[in-house]
Amino acid sequence: MTQPIVSRALYYRICAALLMLTLLTVGVAYLNLGALNTVIALIIATGKALLVVLFFMHVRYSSRLTWVVVSAGVFWLLVLLVFTLSDYVTRSTLAGWL
């Protein structure tokens, strides 16, 4: 199986984008946006993770089977997050009943 040749310039641009997104995360952390701080930080973190997975882990140029495995991993992560957050949200309502 042949792999596409990716230029170093692309890796440098991705690295610069990751650094800019990190600086953006730090900048947003100093702003008082209330509950939106967490949402914005998670959106930026998702973008950074997407860049790392697609380019540094070479998923962008991989076969469909690799895409299926990565998608299954992301789906499982979402399932775990949903169950964790549902437990976290319901704890305050259960404490009022006891």
Model confidence at 35, pLDDT cuts 50, 70, 90, reads confident
pLDDT in tens, 49-88: 999 999 999 899 899 999 999 999 999 999 999 999 888 8
Contact indicator for 48, 21 with CB cutoff of 8 Å = yes
Judge whether residue 3 has pLDDT over 90: no
Please give the Cα distance from 76 to 83 (Å, whole number).
11
Check residue 91 and give its pLDDT.
Answer: 78
Q: What is the pLDDT of residue 97?
A: 61
| Contact call for residues 56 and 14 (beta carbons, < 8 A) | yes
**What are the residue ranges spanned by the domains of the chain?**
1-62, 63-98
